Amino acid sequence: MIDLAALRSLHAVDTYGSVVAAADALGFTPSAVSQQVKRLERQTGVALLERVGRGVIVTDGGRHLLDEGGRLLGDLEAVEAGLHRRTGLVAGHLRIAAFSTAMRGLVAETVRDLLDAHPDLRVSLAEHEPWDTVDLVASGQLDLGLFHTWGDVPVDVPDHLVRTTVARDVADVIVHRDHPLAGRRSVTPRDLVDEGWVATPEGTICRQWLSRMYDGTGRRPRIAHVAMEFDSHLALVRAGLGIALVPRLGRAALGDRLVALAARAPVPTREVVAVHRRTMADSPAVVAVVAALIARSRATGSMA
């Protein structure tokens, strides 16, 4: 009989790339993980890990066991979620990831309220970029993730994940109060073709959306400065070094030196999406978190 706990350890070694990293993720010692994998090797009569240099990789036999046994682990996760649903108890440990503005503007207070209401619930939070979040939830390294999508910029979500829109967020063009456009109520990309932008790095979803905004103008946005965090964008605009496209969610107060202009044609809107594995669909904890995120979004007027 295959030991499911040992199978989970093998899966963690494969997912995290080493026995030490797997042990850290599972809350075990490296020795305990190694012993579980060795027990699984004795049970199956097949070598499952192969040492390469100072690390290990999964053997062909181990890969077959993980491919077939992964369904067992998924079934077990679904059984556990269904059991919790029958009791109605919001409990257990949820690992949640979100992008930075959602962490500040949506997740932090929502999780605080949930923990106060459900003392048997534990939550671990981590910031990740959207594509990384989807991959981490899909591989089982996280239980719930929040990512954002802008317009037609795609984020591929595997079929075994469930996605739920929890908020819709709009970005404004931020300019210095002394900027010639500061007195306008709204602007279009054609009004901004000669401006220098403060933008997120190349390859990020926000940068892709900024570029797509200029479709039809015959121009591309002129990137003057690059910064990852929107707080840095605001600081650079405040210093008169450019303009920026900054979402409202989690945005710091603008103060008296910055002006937010509504952007139109197109209106820069992003969806904030929660994603989890289908096997966790019955989990009261997952259901409670998603519902609470939607409720907070509606309360703040960011959910259509």
The verdict on whether omega for the bond into residue 266 sits within 30 degrees of 0, i.e. cis, is yes
Sign, Cα dihedral of 79, 80, 81, 82: positive
CA-to-CA distance for 140 and 103, rounded, in angstroms? 21
- The two tokens of residue 152 are 């037609």
CA-to-CA distance for 35 and 146, rounded, in angstroms? 35
pLDDT value at position 37? Answer: 86
* Residue 253: CA count within 13 A, CB half-sphere: 2
CA-to-CA distance for 132 and 135, rounded, in angstroms? 5
12 - beta bridge partners? none
- The two tokens of residue 200 are 């997120």
User: Do 162 and 250 meet the contact criterion of CB atoms below 8 Å apart?
Assistant: no
The domains of the chain, with CATH numbers, are: 4-85 (1.10.10.10), 89-162+276-299 (3.40.190.10), 169-269 (3.40.190.10)
- The two tokens of residue 299 are 């309360």
Q: What is the DSSP letter of 17?
A: S
pLDDT value at position 304? Answer: 44
Q: What is the DSSP letter of 185?
A: S
User: Do 272 and 251 meet the contact criterion of CB atoms below 8 Å apart?
Assistant: no
CA-to-CA distance for 225 and 55, rounded, in angstroms? 41
Cα-only R_g, the chain? 23
Q: What is the DSSP letter of 194?
A: T
pLDDT value at position 74? Answer: 76
Residues of the chain with pLDDT under 70: 1, 302-304
3-state secondary structure of 8: helix
| 157-189 as b/e: b if 16+ CB within 10 A | beeeebbeebbbbebbbbbbeebebeeeeebeb
